C-alpha cells in the first residue's frame, strides 16, 4: 500500500473531535468546593460549591490565600490567612495534608473542613499557582473548640513548625 495515495486533513476547524474543555469548565463539574490561586496566592477562580461553603463571593484578584472570611485553628485560635494551608503550600511548594481547620462565614456561622492545597507547576517545575479542594466536616455546632475531635491528629501549627524547620536547614 502506497501512503502517498492518501490525503490527510489534520486541520479540522469545524470538528469537535479534539475538543479540550477549559480548566474553569472542568472545575465547574466538580461538586466539592474548589479554588485556584496564582503563584502569589491571589484568587484566580472558585466554583459555586466554594462560594456556598464560604458564605459569600470573594472578589477574584483581591482575596489572597483563601476565600474564607475568617480562618481558625482546631482549638478556636484565629489563623491568619498568610499562615493558611494554601499559603504554606505555595511558600514551601509542598502540600499540607491531614489538617482540619475551621472557617467563619460573614453571618457568624462556623464550619470545619479539611483542605487539600496543591501547588501547580509549569513544564520546568516552577510553581505557577495553587489549587485547593475543601472537604467539609459536618458538625452541628462549632461554638465549642474543635480540639476534642482532633486529638491524635496533626495540627496546622505542627505542620507550620515542621515546614519552618525544614526551610531553615
Full DSSP string of 50-114: HHHHHTS-PPTTTSBS---SEEE-TTS-EE-GGGSHHHHHHHHTS---S--EEEE-TTS-EEEEE
- Residue 54 is assigned to a structural domain of this protein: yes
- Residue 123 is assigned to a structural domain of this protein: yes
Distances (CA, A) of 147 to 25, 54, 78, 129, 155: 38, 22, 14, 31, 10
Which pLDDT belongs to residue 144? 37
- Residue 154 is assigned to a structural domain of this protein: yes
- Residue 66 is assigned to a structural domain of this protein: yes
- Residue 84 is assigned to a structural domain of this protein: yes
What is the CATH classification number for the domain harbouring 129?
3.30.450.20
- Residue 16 is assigned to a structural domain of this protein: no
Which pLDDT belongs to residue 126? 92
For residue 112, give the C-alpha cell: 470545619
Q: What is the greatest pairwise CA distance in the chain?
A: 78
Domains in the chain, number: 1
- Its domain, for residue 60, covers 27-168
What is the SS3 assignment for 132?
strand
- Residue 148 is assigned to a structural domain of this protein: yes
What is the SS3 assignment for 2?
coil
Stretches in the chain below the pLDDT threshold 50: 140-153, 160-169
Which pLDDT belongs to residue 140? 35
Amino acid at each position: 500500500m502506497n501512503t502517498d495515495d492518501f490525503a490527510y486533513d489534520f486541520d479540522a476547524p469545524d470538528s469537535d473531535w479534539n475538543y479540550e474543555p477549559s480548566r474553569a469548565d472542568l472545575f465547574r463539574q466538580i461538586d466539592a468546593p474548589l479554588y485556584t490561586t496564582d503563584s502569589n496566592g491571589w484568587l484566580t477562580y472558585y466554583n459555586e460549591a466554594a462560594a456556598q461553603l464560604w458564605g459569600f463571593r470573594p472578589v477574584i484578584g483581591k482575596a489572597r490565600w483563601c476565600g474564607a472570611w475568617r480562618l481558625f485553628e482546631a482549638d478556636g485560635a484565629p489563623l491568619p490567612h498568610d499562615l493558611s494551608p494554601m499559603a504554606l503550600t505555595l511558600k514551601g511548594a509542598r502540600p499540607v495534608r491531614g489538617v482540619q481547620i475551621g472557617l467563619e462565614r460573614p453571618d457568624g456561622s462556623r464550619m470545619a473542613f479539611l483542605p487539600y492545597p496543591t501547588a501547580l507547576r509549569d513544564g520546568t517545575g516552577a510553581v505557577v499557582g495553587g489549587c485547593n479542594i475543601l472537604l467539609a466536616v459536618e458538625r452541628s455546632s462549632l461554638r465549642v473548640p474543635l480540639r476534642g475531635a482532633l486529638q491524635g491528629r496533626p495540627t496546622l501549627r505542627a505542620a507550620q513548625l515542621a515546614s519552618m524547620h525544614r526551610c531553615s536547614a
